[in-house]
Amino acid sequence: MSAPVPLATGDARELLRATVAQFGSRAALVSALGPQTLCILELLRQEGLSLPTYFLDTGCHFAETLAFRHEVERHFGVEVQVVRPAIDPGTLHATDPERCCAIRKVQPLQQLLGGFEAWVSGIRAEQTADRAEAAAVEWDLRFGLWKVNPLLGWSRATVDEFLSRHGVPTNPLLASGYRSIGCAPCTRPSTDERGGRWAGLAKTECGLHRRSSA
Ligand code: SF4
Query: In 3-state terms, what secondary structure has residue 138?
Result: strand
Return the CATH superfamily for domain 12-186: HUPs (3.40.50.620)
Per-residue pLDDT band at 196 (split at 50, 70, 90): low
Contact by Cβ (8 Å): 58, 104? yes
In the beta sheet, which residues pair with residue 120?
29, 148
d(CA 189, CA 199): 10
Q: Which residues does the annotation mark as catalytic?
A: 206
Write phi, then psi, for 191 (nearest 5 degrees).
-90, -25
Residue of the CA atom closest to atom 1 of ligand 1 = 183
Q: Which atom of ligand 1 is nearest to the CA of 89?
A: 8
Pairing of β 80-83 and β 53-56:
parallel
Using one digit for the tens of pLDDT, what is the confidence trace for 1-59? 555 665 555 799 999 999 999 999 999 999 889 999 999 999 999 999 999 999 999 99
Residue 52 Cα to ligand 1 middle (Å): 24
Looking at residue 129, its pLDDT comes to 86
Q: What is the largest CA-CA distance in the chain?
A: 45
Using one digit for the tens of pLDDT, what is the confidence trace for 147-185? 999 999 999 999 999 999 999 999 999 998 888 889 999
Residue extents of the structural domains in the chain: 12-186
d(CA 41, CA 39): 5
Q: Is 60 exceeded by the pLDDT of residue 198?
A: no
- Rounded to the nearest angstrom, the gap between the alpha carbon of residue 204 and the centroid of all alpha carbons in its chain is 14
Give DSSP secondary structure letters for 66-89: HHHHHHHHHHHT--EEEE--SS--
- Choose the residue to mutate in 61, 88, 96, 100 for probing ligand 1, maximizing ligand atoms within 8 Å of C-beta: 100
Looking at residue 192, its pLDDT comes to 74
Residue 97 Cα to ligand 1 middle (Å): 6
Burial of residue 213 (CB within 10 Å: 0-12, 13-18, 19+) is: exposed
